[in-house]
Structures are given as C-alpha cells and as structure tokens.
Amino acid sequence: MPSPSLDFWFDLASNYSYLSVMRIETRAAQAGVTVRWRPFLLGPILDTLGWEGPPFVVQKEKGAYVWQDMRRLCRKYGLPWRQPSEFPRRAVLATRVAVLAADEPWLPAWCRAVMTRNYGDDREVDSPEAVAQILTALGLPARQIVDEAGSDANRLRLRERTQAARDLGIFGAPTFFAGEEMFWGNDRLEDALDAALTARQASGGD
C-alpha cells in the first residue's frame, strides 16, 4: 500500500502559507504522511472572484489583526518574523522556479528559503538577482534554473497549475487536500494530516 499523502497548495506571497511551508515537512514526517507540494498563484483566482486583493489588505481593521496574529504565531512556532514593507510582495519568478522544481528534492528547501527571505528578512524575492542569490545559497545552478523557469513551457505550467487550483475550488492559501477533502488555512494543517491517515486506514492500510 502507498503511504498516506496530502496535497499542499500554497502561494509563495501568502503570509499564512509561510507558516505552513515552514512547518509541514516536519509535521508530515512525524505523522508518516507524504506531502505533494503544489505551488500556485492566488492573485489570478482572487481576480476571477471579483476581489480587489487579500481581504485583510482591502479591510484595514482586518489587516491590523492579521499582522498581530502573524507575530503571535511566529513566536509560537519559533519562526523568524519581520512584517513585510510591501504586501503582497511579488513572487512570480520564485513560483515559476517552484513549479519547475516539482520533482526535485530541493523544492521544500527552496520554498522555505524564499519565504524566510520575505517574511523573516523583509527582502524582495522576485528579481532575477534575488532568485539567483537564493539558488546559489542552496548550491544550485542559478543561471540555468532562472533561464528554465522563465521559459514559455514553464510559464504555461504555472498557468495550468493555477487553473487546476481554481478548478478544485481553491479560494485561499494554504489549502490542503486529503483525497477529495479540502482543508483551508494554516490552522488546519494538523487536521488535514489526520484526515490523510484516516483515509489510508479506511482504505485498508495499516
């Protein structure tokens, strides 16, 4: 029997995705669940829903609460935090690299490095120079990867991935799927892992 698995849909510009990107690999390993990383762009989906941006950007009072919430949660999880001076910060090229790395073992490390630079250091993450710096720090061939990430074929992969998210009914990030069961939000990560295990047991696994 295959191990239980969880689909992890996230946006590299999303603050709550930051919390899950930094936690999911350890939590999933502890639970014995395999994670399938699914980076996508939430912005185009919000556009199709008629939203002018993340709700807590549009609504000032909600925004003030969210930043307070992020400070608390980063303290709780022991994560670096610096409120970004630009939000949402563009991360299209960084996401193209993540999509390009779909089958690469360095994908989780890439996502953590991008997120830490954005939300831990308040530094931009989308210029070719910034992307190359992160790739080089990970010991990866920066020029080759940046070129491949910007290719027409890979741009299409990201558009298709984002459309797949929309087709699944995703409206926010992070979102998790245990089979067909959807869980939305960083605070549902543990519930989603439990559901993945329960689905495995229901199908007859050990």
**Residue 206 to residue 197: CA distance in whole angstroms:** 10
Cα–Cα distances in angstroms (integers) from residue 5 to residues 48, 70, 106, 196, 199, in the given order: 29, 28, 19, 6, 9
- Residue that is written with structure tokens 């669940």 in the block: 33
Q: Which of 3, 14, 17, 85 is catalytic?
A: 14
Check if the beta carbon of residue 192 is closer than 8 Å to that of residue 204. no
**Residue 42 to residue 17: CA distance in whole angstroms:** 11
Q: Is 5 a catalytic residue?
A: no
Six-digit token string for 13:
């510009």
- b vs e for 52-73, b when ≥16 Cβ sit within 10 Å of the residue's Cβ? eebebeeeeeeeeebeeebeeb
Fill in the amino acid letter for 105.
P
- Catalytic center residues: 14
